[in-house]
Structure 1
Amino acid sequence: MLVVCPTPIGNLEDLSPRQRTALAGADIIACEDTRQAGKLLELAGIDRSEGRPRLWRYDDHSAREQAERLVRELEAGLEVVLISDAGTPAISDPGYRLVRAARQAGVEVRALPGPVAATVALSASGLPSDTFFFEGFLPPKSQARRARLEALEDVGTTTLYYESPRRLEAMLSDVEAVCGPERQVCVGRELTKRFEEYYWGPVSRVLERIRSSEEVRGELVVVVAPGEGKQAADEGEVERLIHALLDQEMSSRGIKEVVSQMYALPRSAIYERISVVQKQREG
């Protein structure tokens, strides 16, 4: 069996009993950095005896090759636990390749709940969270980054990004240029760690704080609010509108166009809500 096992993003106390049990019971731990994984096992009090669990490097550079080898081990009946250096594997990480390969081979896959830096920052941001879009890392060059930010404006929901300290100021400058100086943002730094810190407010003010502070360090999550007039729609209001349009015998495509003009919702979410309402009416 393949077990997708999150690890703490900074605070060891966030390691759950289920995660500890999975790590201790693994035959193989697939990890980005074997040294980091070994340190985690040591801090968690998990002894490695007779070479078990084995630590296998599995990262962006080795994902394709190692996925095939790991699937063979899984098919032989061994228990493989997939971890990343921090957080939940397969979220902005190559772990999905192994999960997909295991499923294609008919191997059982289980995933344990655990921390994701993006959702930790979102929950502390105070920005709309009933719908959101996780982008991960934006392009490193400003021109490409602005083009992607402009495209994401059409999504119409809160957006989440990962960013490095050395690019934070340039990235926020591009957010200001594309979204305007008053766009609300929340930058989370060193989440769950000793020096956890948030920069919150209009992007222009956050930029001022970043520029006037000492060097920003640590891993970062940037949460950007939807644009003015693009706040996430109230579910009840959207459903009432869909009911009214269905009463007028409007097609799903037509309803989607009307709803998308009035509310900031992704198209997939609109179609899903239309389907839910239609099933309610049929029932």
Structure 2
Amino acid sequence: MPNVTAASGRLVLAATPLGDARDASPRLATALAEAEVIAAEDTRRLRALAAALEVTPTGRVVSFYEDVETARLPKLLEELHAGRTVLLVTDAGMPSVSDPGFRLVAACVAEDLPVTCLPGPSAVTTALALSGLPCDRFCFEGFAPRKPGERAKWLKTLAGEPRTAVFFESPHRLAGTLRDAAGVLGDDRRAAVCRELTKTYEEIRRGTLAELADWAEAGVRGEITVVLAGAEPREVSVADLVGEVADRVAAGERLKSAAAEVAAATGVSQKELYDAVLAARRA
């Protein structure tokens, strides 16, 4: 374990408003004013937020977006080892959640440097709460894959997922993703599209995948979060799933991983399913 002196600083992950600056916590305003170093995904947005909160940052402000994240790590770690507080903020919501931050947190953990968090707004939980879909169990899928083949493969992993799923999508790809989802998961799967959360033109659209795909065809703008209902429980046998695993293998997946994912989604024995696929090949 690396040696850490009593003078070591700490990394503070701070959630920022999704759109309305009034959602900022008093702790965030104080942290912006007092942090010795502020690592911001977009320095212009940071300064706009500080102005809206009537706060003047006194610390050094550095950019910390995806393309420079790795290059910035050594200097930020030096600041922390020197005893300074580094505040990490992204454009909206919680750092590390499909935003810069994970690499810095992991580096701090590896060097035994303190990390804490100022909780606050999150598009994931906000959309989930507004969706009208079950919230007791859910999974977060990040951004939907851009390439059609990868997106189809990803959607197949959600076919038997019983938990409500939340993911981000860009507005110009939304219609295509919803249409693909309807094709893989069924036209009647329920979903919600949450647009511009907490902003002036906030809009929540709820319906089936087919209905939402039709609506999105006309064009959608803004920040998009999609909430997808989980799969209905189904009674299946190992024999019923052999073809599904075979299709995934034909699409390029390894047999072992395909069998594992299908087994996990349906509750059957992975070994029995794997053996059944091998038996079907021999037959």
Task: Give me the whole-angstrom Cα distance separating, in 1, the residues matched to 2:54 and 2:264.
Answer: 57
Q: 1:37–1:55: 8 Å Cα contact kept in structure 2?
A: no
2:167 pairs with 1:158:
no
Range moving further from structure 2, 167-176 or 94-103: 94-103
What root-mean-square deviation, in Å, do the aligned CA atoms of Structure 1 and Structure 2 show? 1.8
Structure 1 unmatched ranges of 5 or more: 231-256, 263-283
Q: 2:90–2:100: 8 Å Cα contact kept in structure 1?
A: no
The equivalent of 1:30 in structure 2 is: 39
The equivalent of 2:27 in structure 1 is: 18
The equivalent of 1:120 in structure 2 is: 126
The equivalent of 1:218 in structure 2 is: 222
CA deviations over 1:185-214 (Å, ceiling 9, x no partner): 000000011110011011111222223x5x
Q: 2:178–2:213: 8 Å Cα contact kept in structure 1?
A: yes
Map 1:55-74; keep pairs closer than 5 Å.
55-74=61-80
TM-score (structure 1 length as normaliser): 0.78
Q: Secondary structure at the match of 2:206?
A: strand
TM-score (structure 2 length as normaliser): 0.78
CA deviations over 1:133-171 (Å, ceiling 9, x no partner): 100111112221011110122432111110011000000
Q: Secondary structure at the match of 1:62?
A: helix
CA deviations over 1:239-275 (Å, ceiling 9, x no partner): xxxxxxxxxxxxxxxxxx899639xxxxxxxxxxxxx
Counterpart amino acid of 2:214?
Answer: E
Structure 1 residues 47, 94: closer, same or farther in 2, change over 3 A? Answer: closer
Structure 2 unmatched ranges of 5 or more: 1-9, 235-262, 269-283
Structure 1 residues 258, 89: closer, same or farther in 2, change over 3 A? Answer: closer
Task: Give me the whole-angstrom Cα distance separating, in 1, the residues matched to 2:266 and 2:156.
Answer: 18
2:236 pairs with 1:227:
no
Percentage identity across paired residues of the two chains? 40
Q: Secondary structure at the match of 1:56?
A: strand
CA deviations over 1:92-138 (Å, ceiling 9, x no partner): 12201111112222221111111110110000111111111100111
Q: Number of aligned pairs?
A: 231
The equivalent of 1:106 in structure 2 is: 112
Range moving further from structure 2, 59-68 or 6-15: 59-68
The equivalent of 1:173 in structure 2 is: 179
Counterpart amino acid of 1:135?
Answer: E
Task: Give me the whole-angstrom Cα distance separating, in 2, the residues matched to 1:153 and 1:63.
Answer: 35
2:56 pairs with 1:47:
yes
Q: 2:162–2:230: 8 Å Cα contact kept in structure 1?
A: yes
